[in-house]
Amino acid sequence: MAGTFRECEARATLSHMAEVWLRLAERQPTQPVFQQQQQVQPKEVSVARQGWPNTDPAMPSHKFHLGESVTLIASISRNVSGGIYQVTKQLPHNGREFEYHIKSANEQHQRVARETELTKT
């Protein structure tokens, strides 16, 4: 690698650095330069003995369930007249709120609605 440098001084510096690294490596070959951190694994909960594990109360959950009838709040900006819909799928949390697939008996297609756009019937 030292041959790729054009200046004699740069080659000498690089060669000196390589010698120092080799001496350091020979001095302590058994000790790693860095230590790998261990990951702490959560303890497994025996469902048979302990029952279902408790969920975190701070963890958000869906407000509406599959098959539940909900009212879609009318919105001019989305061109939605509102009405009664049925929840057909719960979507994951999008970072702000939950979303749902909903279907009206009056429409052939499904819609995606945010939880704040729905109310219980």
Q: Whole-angstrom distance between the N-terminal and C-terminal Cα of the chain?
A: 75
Task: Answer whether residue 42 is part of any domain.
Answer: no
pLDDT score at 97 = 93
For 53-65, give the DSSP string. Answer: PPPPTTS---SS-
Q: Which residues of the chain have pLDDT under 70?
A: 1-6, 28-58
What's the structural domain count of the chain?
2
Task: Answer whether residue 4 is part of any domain.
Answer: yes
Percent of the chain having pLDDT more than 90?
32
Range of the domain at 109: 69-120
DSSP state of 41: P
Nearest-angstrom CA–CA distance, 66 and 71: 14
Task: Answer whether residue 51 is part of any domain.
Answer: no
Task: Answer whether residue 107 is part of any domain.
Answer: yes
pLDDT score at 80 = 79
pLDDT score at 19 = 85
